[in-house]
Chains A and B, each alone.
Chain A
Amino acid sequence: MPVKTSPLLPADLVARLERLELVTRKIFRGRRKGERRSKRKGQSIEFADFRSYVPGDDLRFLDWNLYARLDRLFLKMFQEEEDLHFYTLIDASASMAFGDPSKFDWARQLAAALGFVGLARGDRVKIEPLASAAMPPGPVLRGRRNVWRMTEYLEQLRTEGGLPFAQQIKNFCLRNSSKGIVVLITDLMHKEGYEVGLRYLSAQKLDVYVIHVLADEECDPAISGDLKLVDCEDRDEADVTISRPLLDRYQRSLNGLITGAKQFCSRRGMTYLQARNSLSVSDMVLQYLRGRGLMR
């Protein structure tokens, strides 16, 4: 099936993503059998193992040939092929609009790439922006033919301020009770803290990937002089006089944020990845995420 090209999914990236598939470290029960060999043994055509019969087992899976030879009942087990619920949460707060390319664009591109992999392998892909309630939740997509719908949806997403981060995550968790992989792409720039929101995710027993994207301007601010810094989300103002000590402090605060998030995630079994908007999405997917075991 021809894939409609989109700025979010360049053809060369698509070509490289074709061979990948999403992996999860946890065993999930999908609603439909997908194209993936799950860790679960189940009903498929691919034989996996034998086990002793215990009463109550489906008699259809008894290996009669073995019973004939050994006079013992064995149950044939098959590798279950199942589909995966793959969620991508994109932080659509106003702060994501910064950077060149903006963090939000970068996040959409990454979401498209990951979504493509999921769709290509028949997984259940859902992309949701974490923004105001007014923004329609993304459609649930499955199958390669829906790639265009995904990209179309992603393209029309906009950043806008809205509900607090924790509230958004909570809403997501309430709407999507099923388990699966969650890739959260965010800059973690939330005044009220990101911890509550991530805790909701971890409570869902989801396989959580937190991709912390930062713009270059945030890591090395190129500003000087006496400034009034205006927060783009809540219009909060901070008077600062940029100086070397202040910049050093800023670096320390930023490093503190990153380290704190990393520790928070690792304690709760989440995978934390820090990325810059200058990093190309293909590198991100093909090297870093693959290295972290999200792809195979």
Chain B
Amino acid sequence: MVPPAIVVLYFLKLRRQPVEVPSTFLWRRSVEDLHVNSIWQRLRQNLLLLLQLLVVLLAILALLRPGWRGTELAGNRFVFLIDRSASMSATDQMPNRLEMARQRVLELIDQMESGSQAMVIGFSDTAQVAQQFTDNRRLLRQAVRRLGPTARRTSLLGALELAAGLANPGRIATEAGDEQVADALPATLYVLSDGKFNDVESRDFSLGNLTPVFVPIGRSDTPNVAVTALSNRAQLASDEQRQVFARVRNFGDNEVTVPVELFFNDALVDADELTVPPNGSSRIVFDLVAAESGTLRLTLNHEDALALDNQAFAVIHRPRQKRVLFVSPGNDIVWWALVTERVRRFADVERMEPEELETPNFRQAAASGQFDLVIFDRCRPAEMPEANTLFIGTIPNRNGWEAESVAAPQIIDTDASHPVMHLVHPDEILIGEALALDPPPGSGVLIDSDRGALCAIHPRAAFEDLVLGFDIVRGTDDGQKLNTNWPLGRLSFPTFLLNVLYYLTGSGDSHSTDSVLPGQPVVLESARPTGQLQVVLPDGQREVVLADRHGTFQFHRTEQTGIYDVRESGDTQSRFAVNLFSESESNVAARVDDIQIGYVDVEGQTQWRPARREIWKSLLLVALGVLLFEWYIYYRRISI
């Protein structure tokens, strides 16, 4: 209706104002000049009309809401689960899988009918709600764009539970039976992932009102080469020489030869070429000479889909000297076992008489956690020190510990799996008098006898108390007498004490690399009592970690892979490495067929139908532009 109306209006000429002129002669001639027989001039004459018609046509077209391909998204509640685990950083989809997934979700959001609500959840090994249910698309888009990649592993279950918890409101139990807290509303659950997670067992999860749709991201034939392990340890001969072990895995169907480079403190120290069989792994060993503490970086010089796992990090550090306090009225046999060359490498052992237990000096030192281990030989403090403890022949002055004197117990069992009992076989030893222990609940019995437990370990806050229920020597009137033949000619006694020192001072064999998985919390230690530590992240950010009430430092921001520097008042105190080391994430071949969620087999929706593209906004913009142009032309015409 409108275009003909415009034409009619256009031809209903406007009422012109009559003006008398001396002669129309010149004007006519001018107007005729203006109307020379050229199409352009004719067009010009009608240009305004044409432009007006164009504006109206564009507006009508925009009202018709033209678009192509794709359809509207049916339903009115959606949950978008976006996988942002390490494997989603793979670049087999340009620019990467996560970006692709985000793009898809943005398209889905565009397809949503107005008024429908959606929720965005990003998940890796944990799930987090990026945006609660809302019908505000701008918020949804922002939430999707905020989701960045992580180096974590994948677990779908947490995300599903989060989605289900919000989509299926819980029930409360009343006397009459279950009552719905709120109406459960059905929702469509979109899982955008490369499927690198375990199927969700039916006993763990039920979908309820959720209708799942699996949108696989990534290709199922993407090869990748990854470092799946990196460790180093001192060679047995000397502490100065170290060996670095690495395992490289090939997740492709072709054999690959990759150059492997080892950097020590960011300087190239060794390199080798490693051939990895298809779908197999190869090991490589580097010898590192005279390595003091520092950082190791192993790099595969290889271009593949996932760059995150082509590097691995490790830390070499000499453990700080531990402080051990030996409180005894006199026990040379134990003392000699504590001051061996081997022990001196990692611990300083001090000696103290039981009388000094009551001095303020000791109380203060014990309360401030200066010692890593305190050994009480036939004595016990009034208050437990802030340290691990070994009680010999006594029990701690704490609730829960009970003991009963027994004579000549026969050892019948040891817990060989416990590190303290590693390589210790106190089978044929004789014991005079002993305490049959009744440790508090939650304790581990390490040596059991026919009369009761002889050795037990029990955790106390951040510490552990180890109790040996029999004396090694007994003070009698005529000097010291052995209470057991354990120290005599048997290697298991010094081994036991060495194990105790290793275990309770937290030293261990320093071949462990302190590798942490991304996202895992780390407990940091401080050599000195302090309230805060500073951690320098691999990208140079600094974060202050405050001590919790137990005096431990919990650090959670281990999202990036690399070396983390733990500093105390500016000095590097220790380091730890965060590595991906996950075969499931490094194996980037995407799962495109189907996934199992509870009882439901969810087929992968490989045929992607892109969002319906609509152009009415652009049409309106063009119409506006034409309108402006028309105004300009008109203005140019009437301007003098």
Interface residues of A, Cβ cutoff 8 Å to B: 95-96, 98, 187, 189-191, 215, 218, 221, 223-233, 236-247, 249-250, 252-254, 256-257
Contact = CB atoms under 8 A, between A and B. Distances in A.
A200 B16 CA distance: 41
A257 B34 contact: no
Contact of A191 (B13, B23, B30): B23
A73 to B, nearest CB: 64
Contacts of B640: 224, 242-244, 247
Nearest to A242: B640
Nearest to B22: A95
Interface string B395-412: 000000000000000000
B1 interface: no
A250 B33 CA distance: 9
Contacts, number: 98
A249 B33 contact: yes
A189 B22 contact: yes
B42 to A, nearest CB: 15
Contact of A230 (B21, B28, B33, B638): B21
A252 B23 contact: no
A245 B25 CA distance: 17
A231 B24 contact: yes
Contact of A243 (B13, B25, B26, B636): B636
Contact of A254 (B14, B17, B26, B28): B26
Contacts of A240: 27, 31
B18 interface: yes
30 contacts: A95-B23, A96-B22, A189-B23, A189-B25, A189-B26, A190-B25, A191-B25, A218-B22, A224-B640, A226-B14, A227-B17, A227-B19, A228-B18, A228-B19, A229-B18, A230-B18, A231-B23, A232-B20, A233-B23, A236-B24, A237-B18, A239-B13, A240-B31, A242-B638, A243-B636, A247-B640, A249-B33, A249-B34, A253-B33, A256-B29
Contact of B33 (A227, A232, A252): A252
Given A226-B17, A237-B24, 16 more contacts: A96-B22, A189-B22, A189-B26, A224-B640, A230-B24, A231-B20, A231-B21, A232-B22, A232-B23, A239-B16, A242-B638, A243-B636, A243-B640, A250-B30, A253-B33, A254-B26
B138 interface: no
A228 to B, nearest CB: 4
A241 B637 contact: yes
Contacts of A215: 22
**Residue in A191, A223, A238, A239 with the greatest tally of chain B CB atoms within 10 Å:** A238
Nearest to A251: B30
Nearest to B45: A241
A218 B639 CA distance: 19
Contacts of B16: 226-228, 239
Range, interface on chain B: 20 to 34
A229 B24 contact: yes
A98 to B, nearest CB: 4
A221 B21 CA distance: 10
A230 B19 contact: yes
B512 to A, nearest CB: 88
A241 B25 contact: no
A246 B22 contact: no
A229 B19 contact: yes
A95 B24 CA distance: 10
Interface string B629-640: 000000011111
B20 A230 contact: yes
Nearest to A249: B30
Nearest to B44: A245
A189 B200 CA distance: 100
B300 to A, nearest CB: 73
Interface string B437-474: 00000000000000000000000000000000000000
A244 B636 contact: yes
Contacts of B637: 241, 243
Contacts of B17: 225-228
Shortest 4 CB-CB distances between A and B: which pairs?
A95-B22, A249-B30, A228-B16, A189-B23
Contacts of A245: 34
Contacts of A237: 18, 24
Contact of B21 (A190, A232, A246, A257): A232
A273 to B, nearest CB: 19
Given A243-B638, A245-B34, A253 B20 contact: no
B81 to A, nearest CB: 64
**Residue in A230, A233, A241, A247 with the greatest tally of chain B CB atoms within 10 Å:** A241
A254 B28 CA distance: 11
A233 B23 CA distance: 7
Interface string B558-591: 0000000000000000000000000000000000
Contacts of A225: 17, 638
**Residue in A95, A237, A246 with the greatest tally of chain B CB atoms within 10 Å:** A246
A95 B20 CA distance: 10
Contacts of B636: 243-244
Interface string B102-145: 00000000000000000000000000000000000000000000
A156 to B, nearest CB: 23
Contacts of B21: 98, 221, 229-232
Contacts of A244: 636, 639-640
Contact of B27 (A95, A98, A229, A233): A229
**Residue in A95, A190, A224, A240 with the greatest tally of chain B CB atoms within 10 Å:** A240
Nearest to A231: B24
B24 to A, nearest CB: 4
A223 B27 contact: no
Interface in B594-640: 636-640
Contacts of B33: 249, 252-253
Given A224-B638, A241-B637, A253 B29 contact: yes
